[in-house]
């Protein structure tokens, strides 16, 4: 059978969808043929509605599968309705429409109630999608396949809004075994082009699962569903799974042969360092295989074993990413369910940097129930941490999560923005009132300036404090006029700080990333770190980098 995947991914970050690649690989291993329509403006030309319809008619898939994030679900729904309308108008028999991904997994009944889908997938569907394809191809009833909500008798109602009694909510199946799943189908995507567009950064996954129950993440909802529907406690669900290092070495070797422009691997595991034995074994296998491509991993401030940090540095880990999220202990504990102290965060950053790992922190602003003082606490914590870089996002309330409930109960949700936003960086989906909305926008846009202004004992603080005061004094109209010039103003101040040999953060690589100057100066001027890992630059190298930058400014 032919299976056509449709991936609405417009006006957000361009990337590789690990879930679709794994689904495609599983289908191909079962003898099916797959193809992808990837809708992303960074990969032009974006297929038009007519081109999508023509492909469906010409290629004649037996199944059409959509993968949707919350921000992209509206576009997926529009395309599905368009296919239904075109098929009805031209008397064409449309194959079953299936949708999966984060949004359908979180609110499957709401998605099914839209009435346009034949099947709604929940959770990890590699095994279930293969079974669904087999049933459809064989003409068997597809309404009792695990992990799917399906219409009773396999027949989708056509009149009016469907009632829940019209569909079957099948229980989930077992989590797929990473030791037996085939290697992801990297060829499903235009992977060479994506890799070039991302300047050689390439995503891999060595594990699945996360032990934490952060309120803004889907993991707690997914694990609760599996626990309830399989009737087993979490330790017996096989939620935390690891791909053997030997298989990862084979996969990486294949990737490097196929895509020679790979310059950095991003290990997209939720939490690479959660299992020290797996992390160390991977690092040792990576070194033994002779790979010299640096890589990046996700960690947790309470899950960095010194043995793992040492192994990462030896293997060439370039960046260690940490979820800090908020500076106020109360917000982390009560709003986000992230039970970690300031000391945990500061000590882990210090430890990682001591092993030569360049640290990167994720922070959010615009959190429900967060006060102005607590938003400033995020600034203060970053300033005190000395972290290598930080990425600022605007909180987004994913439907089905605990944080969505908190946002709804607090009366913060702006329904129009929730429906229209496609990313986490352009605007907040919550409404805190005009004054606080303005402050949050300024903070998210200029976070490096705020952090620099609070770096006690650092000469850069005196340079950036007046700039922050200037920004805070702007009214809404003045801010909108000033906002387009932020990158230019940042560049000017960074050049001056560099010339004065002041350690500082500047906006680099994208509009929401603040990067420590010793790192980006060394990188921009071709000065290597001590190892493949992004170690702090030795004083002499730092002086050379600063001098080179100062000469350019002058």
Q: What is the mean pLDDT of residues 140-156?
A: 94
The domain that holds 397 is classified in CATH as 3.20.20.70
pLDDT one-digit tens code per residue, 526-541: 544 433 333 333 343 3
Record the pTM. Answer: 0.90
pLDDT at 28 over 80: yes
Q: Are residues 122 and 77 in the same domain?
A: yes
Q: What is the mean pLDDT of residues 390-409?
A: 94
| H helix or E strand, kind and range, residue 78 | helix 70-89
Choosing from 169, 184, 207, the residue where a domain stops is 169
The domain that holds 111 is classified in CATH as 3.40.50.280
> N- to C-terminal Cα distance for the chain?
65
pLDDT one-digit tens code per residue, 277-302: 999 999 999 999 999 999 999 999 99
| Residue 296 within a domain | yes
Contacts of 12 (CB under 8 A, 6+ apart): 69, 71, 72, 422, 423
Q: Are residues 216 and 310 in the same domain?
A: yes
Q: What is the mean pLDDT of residues 191-197?
A: 94
Percent of the chain's residues with pLDDT above 90: 85
| Residue 99 token pair | 């949708």
Residue 16's pLDDT band, with cuts at 50, 70 and 90, is confident
Contact present, 421 and 428 (Cβ < 8 Å)? no
Backbone φ and ψ for 53, nearest 5 degrees, come out as -65, -45
pLDDT for 554 equals 27
| Residue 225 token pair | 């569903």
Domain count, the chain: 2
pLDDT at 553 over 70: no
Q: Are residues 110 and 152 in the same domain?
A: yes
pLDDT for 533 equals 34
| Residue 157 within a domain | yes
Q: Are residues 141 and 206 in the same domain?
A: no
| H helix or E strand, kind and range, residue 506 | strand 505-507
pLDDT one-digit tens code per residue, 202-236: 999 999 999 899 999 988 899 999 999 999 999 99
Which residue pairs, CB below 8 angstroms and at least 24 apart, start in 465-474?
467/493, 471/442, 471/446, 472/439, 472/442, 474/442
pLDDT one-digit tens code per residue, 421-476: 776 667 788 999 999 999 999 999 999 999 999 999 999 999 999 999 999 999 99
| Residue 502 within a domain | no
Q: What is the mean pLDDT of residues 168-182?
A: 97
pLDDT for 542 equals 39
pLDDT at 48 over 70: yes
pLDDT at 550 over 60: no
pLDDT for 526 equals 59
Residue 483 CB coordination number (10 Å): 15
pLDDT for 158 equals 83
Which domain, by its residues, includes 352?
Answer: 199-411
Q: Are residues 154 and 269 in the same domain?
A: no
Contact present, 519 and 358 (Cβ < 8 Å)? yes
pLDDT for 8 equals 96
Q: Taking CA 112 as the corner, what is the angle to CA 107 and CA 114, rounded to the nearest 5 degrees?
A: 105
Q: Are residues 262 and 380 in the same domain?
A: yes
Span of 169-183, 463-477, 505-519, 538-552 with lowest mean pLDDT: 538-552
| Residue 467 token pair | 């700039």
Q: Are residues 121 and 35 in the same domain?
A: yes
Question: Counting Cβ atoms within 10 Å, is residue 197 exposed (0-12), middle (13-18) or buried (19+)?
Answer: middle
Q: Are residues 234 and 87 in the same domain?
A: no
Q: Are residues 139 and 219 in the same domain?
A: no
How far, in Å, are 112, 159, 245, 301 from residue 309 at the CA level? Answer: 45, 59, 18, 12
Choosing from 150, 169, 188, the residue where a domain stops is 169
| Residue 539 within a domain | no
Contact present, 22 and 53 (Cβ < 8 Å)? no
| Residue 532 within a domain | no
| Residue 343 within a domain | yes
Q: Are residues 384 and 334 in the same domain?
A: yes
Q: What is the mean pLDDT of the chain?
A: 92
pLDDT for 531 equals 31
pLDDT for 541 equals 32
pLDDT at 512 over 70: yes
Q: Are residues 403 and 280 in the same domain?
A: yes
pLDDT one-digit tens code per residue, 62-73: 999 999 999 999
Q: What is the 3-state secondary structure (H, E, C) of 403-426?
A: HHHHHHHCCCECHHHHHHCCCCCC
Residue 545's pLDDT band, with cuts at 50, 70 and 90, is very low
pLDDT for 160 equals 72
| Residue 221 within a domain | yes
Q: What is the mean pLDDT of residues 186-211?
A: 95
pLDDT at 544 over 80: no
Q: What is the mean pLDDT of residues 368-379?
A: 97
Q: How far apart are CA 514 and CA 426, in angstroms?
A: 16
Choosing from 411, 432, 453, the residue where a domain stops is 411
Q: What is the mean pLDDT of residues 17-38?
A: 98
Q: How far apart are CA 315 and CA 310, in angstroms?
A: 9
pLDDT for 415 equals 82
Q: Are residues 223 and 351 in the same domain?
A: yes
| Residue 513 within a domain | no
pLDDT one-digit tens code per residue, 227-280: 999 999 999 999 999 999 999 999 999 999 999 999 999 999 999 999 999 999
């Amino acid at each position: 059978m032919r299976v056509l995947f449709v991936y609405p991914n417009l006006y957000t970050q361009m990337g590789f969808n690990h879930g679709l690649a794994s689904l495609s690989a599983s289908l191909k291993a079962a003898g099916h043929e797959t193809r992808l329509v990837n809708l992303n403006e960074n990969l032009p030309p974006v297929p038009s509605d007519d081109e999508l319809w023509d492909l469906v008619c010409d290629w004649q898939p037996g199944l059409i599968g959509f993968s949707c994030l919350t921000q992209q679900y509206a576009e997926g729904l529009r395309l599905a309705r368009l296919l239904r309308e075109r098929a009805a108008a031209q008397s064409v028999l449309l194959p079953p429409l299936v949708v999966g991904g984060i949004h359908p997994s979180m609110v499957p009944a709401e998605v099914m109630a839209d009435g346009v889908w034949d099947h709604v997938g929940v959770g990890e569907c590699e095994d279930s999608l293969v079974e669904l394809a087999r049933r459809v191809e064989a003409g068997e009833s597809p309404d009792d396949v695990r992990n799917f909500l399906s219409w009773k008798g396999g027949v989708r109602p056509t009149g009016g809004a469907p009632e829940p009694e019209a569909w079957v909510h099948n229980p989930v199946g077992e989590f797929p075994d990473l030791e037996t799943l085939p290697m992801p189908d990297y060829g499903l995507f235009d992977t060479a082009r994506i890799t070039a567009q991302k300047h050689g950064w390439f995503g891999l996954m060595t594990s699945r699962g996360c032990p934490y129950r952060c309120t803004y993440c889907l993991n707690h909802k997914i694990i609760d569903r599996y626990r309830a529907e399989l009737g087993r406690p979490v330790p017996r669900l096989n939620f935390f799974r690891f791909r053997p290092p030997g298989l990862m070495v084979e996969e990486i070797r294949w990737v490097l042969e196929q895509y020679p422009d790979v310059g950095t691997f991003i290990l997209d595991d939720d939490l690479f360092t959660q299992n020290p034995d797996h992390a160390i074994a991977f690092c040792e296998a990576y070194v033994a295989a002779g790979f010299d491509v640096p890589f990046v991993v996700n960690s947790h401030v309470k899950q960095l074993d010194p043995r793992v940090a040492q192994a990462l540095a030896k293997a060439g880990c370039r960046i260690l990413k940490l979820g800090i999220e908020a500076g106020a202990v109360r917000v982390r504990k009560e709003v986000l369910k992230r039970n970690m102290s300031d000391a945990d965060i500061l000590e882990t950053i210090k430890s990682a940097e001591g092993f030569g790992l360049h640290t990167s922190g994720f922070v959010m602003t615009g959190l429900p129930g967060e006060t102005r003082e607590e938003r400033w606490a995020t600034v203060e914590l970053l300033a005190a941490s000395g972290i290598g870089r930080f990425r600022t996002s605007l909180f987004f309330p994913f439907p089905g999560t605990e944080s969505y409930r908190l946002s709804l109960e607090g009366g913060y949700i702006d329904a129009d923005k929730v429906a229209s936003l496609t990313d986490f960086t352009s605007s907040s989906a919550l409404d805190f009132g005009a004054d606080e909305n303005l402050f949050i926008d300024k903070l998210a846009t200029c976070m490096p300036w705020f952090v620099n202004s609070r770096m006690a004992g650092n000469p850069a603080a005196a340079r950036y404090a007046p700039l922050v005061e200037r920004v805070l004094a702007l009214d809404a109209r003045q801010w909108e006029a000033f906002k387009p010039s932020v990158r230019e103003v940042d560049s000017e101040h960074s050049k001056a700080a560099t010339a004065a040999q002041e350690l500082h953060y500047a906006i680099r690589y994208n509009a929401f990333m603040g990067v420590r100057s010793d790192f980006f100066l060394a990188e921009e001027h071709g000065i290597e770190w001590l190892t493949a890992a992004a170690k702090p630059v030795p004083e002499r190298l730092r002086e050379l980098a600063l001098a080179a930058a100062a000469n350019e400014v002058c």
